[in-house]
Every structure is written in structure tokens, then in C-alpha cells.
Amino acid sequence: MNKTKVSIIGGSGYLAAELLRHLLPREDVEILRISSKDHIGRNIGAVHRSFWGLTDLVLEDIPPAECAAGADIVFLAMPHVTTAKVAMSLFDLDIRIIDLSGDFRLNDLRDYTRFYAPEHPCPERLGTFTYGMPELYAEQIKTARYVANPGCFATCIATSLLPLARAGALQASTVRLVALTGSSGSGVHPQAGNHHAVRSNNIKAYKVFNHQHTPEILQTLKAAGAGDIALDFVPVSAPLSRGMMSISQLDLPGDYSEDQLRRLYSDYYQPFPLISVLPEGMTPEVVAVKNTLRIEIGLDIKTDPGSGRRTLCAIAVLDNLIKGGAGQAIQNFNLMTGHENAYLLQQPGMWP
Ligand SMILES: NC(=O)c1ccc[n+]([C@@H]2O[C@H](COP(=O)([O-])OP(=O)(O)OC[C@H]3O[C@@H](n4cnc5c(N)ncnc54)[C@H](OP(=O)(O)O)[C@@H]3O)[C@@H](O)[C@H]2O)c1
């Protein structure tokens, strides 16, 4: 079998672990190298404990270009800014890149400097990566050289509003949005704000109206047909290790009934069987999609009896490390390598 050769840079992070979980069992993939700064020379199973005894792969301290040499596709699984600096040393190579960081998702440098860092290491590259959301850009991803994998919140929230945007029903609205995330969304390195002592048994809002995925969501929805919309986004850290839920509310334009709205969504996601639009009476639950590539979407409409004003509540759930990160990167990898429907993590999650 002709194997696709793969390298991973940033090997000790949570998304690298999730990439390996999906790539290691595949017969059509050869993992060439995994580079690391913190765990040089250690077996993958000593760092990501679920791999102990399953692989001889070792984390190597090698420059990015050496790690990528001979690979068909390189996954970048590092923090932003570091990633862009690493990417700069790869652009001259004959390789394709799937970047999981936020460094190449945004088209507008002003958004990047406001939400990520005062300077972008290679601003001329903004807008040159294909945005890796298969539900919107599958055809472009197939031939893309560089793919920017979407953020976890961005995937969850945009997916819950995409059919509306596509239908032209998301015009001049403000989306009022609360979204909850598990702690693995903050990555492997503990900090004061996400340490177990302050996150477990606790719920707290952070980066209120100021989360870095806000411009990414707006960019995606506008590209899909949304008008001059605004997002009032309040992120919340929840006492979970994996999983997230977004709850979006907006004034519903037009005269959709709940049934019509569900049909609009179901029709849009019909080619994407891992996205479920739930029937009336069911609401999305994080545990139902944890450990899977699936997204559940719930839709409810309230009509105010006095004013007649109609409010839509769109709720979505996903596993931040899978559909919100590495699993979506594997979907993109599959599209790029012509294995569209293979290895798509079809299994149900664990219940409860
Ligand atoms: N966690 C999620 O749910 C999620 C979802 C979607 C996207 N993302 C994005 O995907 C990227 C990877 O996420 P992650 O959760 O895997 O991150 P992570 O757990 O923090 O891992 C990042 C890895 O990058 C490497 N690294 C290289 N330079 C570094 C530096 N200067 N500071 C810290 N680490 C450095 C480290 O590995 P070595 O020591 O082995 O080099 C580290 O383990 C991030 O940009 C993140 O924002 C995360």
C-alpha cells in the first residue's frame, strides 16, 4: 500500500496525542518523526500514557525542516506565534501543512494583532491557508497545500449557525452567546487560571466579549453569507476535561417554524452524517459526543406572546480535542489524501 508520510511538530501536546490516536492504527499512514522541545528522547507512551507498549516512536529534538523532511503532510500542533515561526522554515519545502494553531486562520492582520499577539511573524501569509472546515470548504481542502484547522469554539459555534448564514437569514443580528469548555482546551501546560485547584468543582467566565475565536467565527459566517452581524461571546470554563457546549441566542428573522428550521439544518448537514440535528424535545449533551467526531445541534424558538418577537436558541456540543481539534485535522488530512470517507471515527461515544 502506498503510505502517506506524516510528521508532527509539537509532539507532547494534547492535540498531538489525539492525532496519534487516530493515525497510529492506520495502514495507509507512516509516521516519520515527532519533534519536541520538552521531552527529548522519550517514548511517546511515556509522555502520552495511553500509548505505553503500543509504539516505539520517540520524541526527537530536531529542527522543523529536519522533522518535515520526506513527509507528505506535516501537522503543526504548537501554540500560536511559535507555530508561525516554525512554519516560516517549512514554506520552501515541498510539503503540505495542516496547522492546528490560530496563526493562519484569520485573513485580517488587525484581528490577529488585537486577539492573538502584537505582531504576526509572517503577516504576508495571512489569507493564504485554506480554512479547514469540511462543512464549508471540502472542495478547496482537497487540493490545498496549507490548511488552517479551525478553533474548537469556532467550530462549535459556527456549525450551529452555518445553515442560517447560508440561507441568508443571518443579517444585521447580534448573536448573544455563552459557550462552555473543558480544561483540555487550554493545553498541556498548567497555568494559574486553569490549574486543577481552581477549575475543578468551579465554573467561571473568562475573556468576556474578548475571546480570540470571535473574529474567526465572524469571518466564517460572513464567508457563508451572513451580513453585518455581531457576536456577544462569553466563554465559560466548565469542570470537564473534554467537551464543549455553545448556546447562541438571536432574534430570528423570517417566519421559520421550528420544523422548517430543523429541515433547513438537516438538509444542509445531510452530506455530513456526523453532524446531528436533534428532533424536538431533545437537547445536545456533551457526554453523547465526547470521544467522537460528532456534533449535536439543538434548535428551539420562543415567540413572545406580547410583541411577537421570535428568539432562536441554537445549542451545539462537540469534543474539543476531536471535532474541535485533531479529529477535524484528520478529516482534512483525509480530504487532502483522497480518503474522504475512510477512518472517520464513526463509533458512538461512551454512555454515560
Ligand atoms: N486543546 C484544544 O482543545 C485545542 C483545540 C483546537 C486547537 N487548539 C490549538 O492547537 C494548538 C495545540 O494545542 P494543544 O492543546 O495540543 O496545545 P498544548 O497541549 O499546549 O501543546 C502544545 C505543544 O507545543 C509544543 N511547544 C513548542 N513550543 C512551545 C512554546 N514556546 N510554548 C509551549 N509549548 C510549545 C510543546 O510540545 P513539545 O515540548 O513537545 O515541543 C507543547 O506540548 C494550539 O495552538 C491550540 O490553541 C487546541
Give the pLDDT of residue 343: 59
pLDDT computed for residue 44 by the predictor: 97
| CA dist., res. 113 & res. 60, Å (int) | 32
What pLDDT shows up at residue 51?
Answer: 97
- pLDDT > 90 in the chain, percent: 91
Query: What does the alpha-carbon distance between residue 336 and residue 339 come to, in Å, rounded to a whole number?
Result: 8
Q: Quick check: pTM over 0.95?
A: yes
Select the highest-mean-pLDDT range: 125-139, 182-196, 251-265: 125-139
Can you tell me which atom of ligand 1 is nearest the CA of 81? 31
CATH of region 153-320, choose from 3.20.20.80, 3.30.360.10, 3.40.50.300, 3.60.9.10: 3.30.360.10
* Residues paired with 177 in a beta bridge: 233, 248
pLDDT of amino acid 42: 97
Residue nearest to atom 21 of ligand 1 (CA): 13
Cα distance between residue 237 and residue 134, in whole Å: 27
- pLDDT (0 to 100) of residue 344: 59
Q: How confident is the model at residue 18 (pLDDT cuts 50, 70, 90)?
A: very high
Q: Which residues line ligand 1 (CB under 6 A)?
A: 10-16, 36-39, 77-80, 82, 100-102, 151-152, 184-185, 187-189, 320-321, 324-325
Per residue in 298-315, pLDDT tens?
999 999 999 999 999 999
User: Does residue 167 have a pLDDT over 80?
Assistant: yes
Cell numbers representing residue 106 in the block: 484569520
Residue 341 pLDDT: 62
- CATH 3.40.50.720 for domain 4-128, yes or no, is yes
- Beta pairing, strands 174-181 & 146-148: unpaired
Question: What is the average pLDDT score of the chain?
Answer: 95
Which of 210 and 351 is assigned the larger pLDDT? 210
pLDDT digits (tens, 9 = 90+) for 53-80: 999 999 999 999 999 999 999 999 999 9
* Distance between Cα 110 and ligand 1 center (Å): 23
Residue range 136-158: mean pLDDT, rounded = 98
Residues in the chain: 352
| pLDDT for the residue 11 | 97
Helix (H, G, I), strand (E, B) or coil at 27: coil
Q: For the chain, which residues make up each domain, given as ranges?
A: 4-128, 153-320
- Beta strands at 244-251 and 310-318: parallel, antiparallel or unpaired: antiparallel
Tens digits of residue pLDDT in 318-350:
999 999 999 999 999 999 999 876 655 667 888
Same topology between domain 4-128 and domain 153-320? no
How confident is the model over 249-303, as pLDDT tens digits? 999 988 899 999 999 999 999 999 999 999 999 999 999 999 999 999 999 999 9
Task: Tell how far the Cα of 188 is from the centroid of ligand 1, in angstroms.
Answer: 7
Host H or E run for residue 143: helix 134-143
Classified as helix, coil or strand, 156 is helix
Spatial contact of 164 and 170, defined as CB atoms under 8 Å apart = yes
Residue 35 pLDDT more than 90? Answer: yes
Residues with catalytic annotation?
152
Of 240, 246, 250, 334, nearest to 290 by C-alpha is 240
The pLDDT value recorded for residue 309 is: 93
Q: Whose CA is nearest to atom 33 of ligand 1?
A: 79
pLDDT over 70, % of the chain: 98
- Best residue among 15, 211, 237 to mutate for probing ligand 1's pocket (most ligand atoms within 8 Å of CB) is 15
